[in-house]
Amino acid sequence: MASRLREKLAEDQLLHVMAAHSPLSAKLVEEAGFDGVWASGFELAALYGLPDLSFVSMTQHLDMVRAMSGSTHLPIVADIDTGYGNAINVTHVIAEYERAGAAAVVIEDKTFPKVSSLATTGRQQELLRIEEFQGKIAAALASRRDPNFVVIARTEALIAGLGEAEAVKRAAAYESAGADMILIHSKQKTPDEVESFVRAWSGAAPIVIVPTAYPEMNEMRISAFGKIRMVIYGNHAIRATVAAMKDVFARIRRDGGILTVDKDIVSVEEIFRLQGMDRVKITEKRFLR
């Protein structure tokens, strides 16, 4: 999968990577025609009903990545937050995620425990020293067995309110440490801040963006820059899931039954298809005596 992702990145096109939080949602990402799956820490935390504050353990996230890699043929980009510790921890983390089937990881330059980038908790978004995060990147690169495995460095300088100059400085330092790509994140409601960063970026490393807060940043607008190679839709799977469930649950309670909603949701047969029940039937005929 790492080789497949590298091949996609070598092509002159923007890669669209959609968030998932389960093998089922990963299958739907593939069927919708996306280029990759974002193994979202935010979505998994939400699935457990927990805040995105490093409450979900590496084991929990790693198990989900492993399960998703068995259900999709798409490259998985794993959201490993701050790397679950310092550079020493990162050497272990990279080996585990590579073994679990991930094609890439995104590691961010915040301190542990992290605070969700888009959260308004009042807590300050604290960043590591540049040199310390460079060490984490170097550790990640040294630990990968497959040289095609992609290490994406994510700077939260704009999230922390440190400004464009600091963001560019950090991105350049992370590229010099060997990062394959640079993810720039912003919680501004317009894309102006990110677009300004992209214009200021003179490095060779391609840029990754997550336009959750500024949804008008569409494919045409992104492609015009020529420097952005990947767009991650970071939490839309879990948000769509919650919206659909809330609607259906409310209608069932309102109507006193399932009659009116039944026609608006997928059939049991469609769930069987996604579960691979057709393969079960074939196996039954072949082996059950």
Q: Which residue is listed with tokens 């497959």?
A: 146
| Phi and psi at residue 233, to the nearest 5° | -95, 95
Rg (CA), the chain: 20
Taking the alpha carbons at both ends of the chain, their separation in whole angstroms is: 38
Bridge pairing between strands 76-79 and 36-39: parallel
Rounded Cα gap, residues 107 and 61, in angstroms = 14
Q: Are 60 and 44 in contact (CB under 8 A)?
A: yes
Residues 6+ apart with CB under 8 A from 112: 54, 81, 82, 84, 85
Q: Which residues of 39-54 are buried (b: 16+ CB within 10 A; e: fewer)?
A: bbbbbbbbbeeeebeb
- Please choose, from the candidates 47, 44, 50, the residue with its C-alpha nearest in 3D space to the C-alpha of residue 65: 44
Catalytic residues: 52
Beta bridge partners of 15: 230
Residue with tokens 């840029």: 207
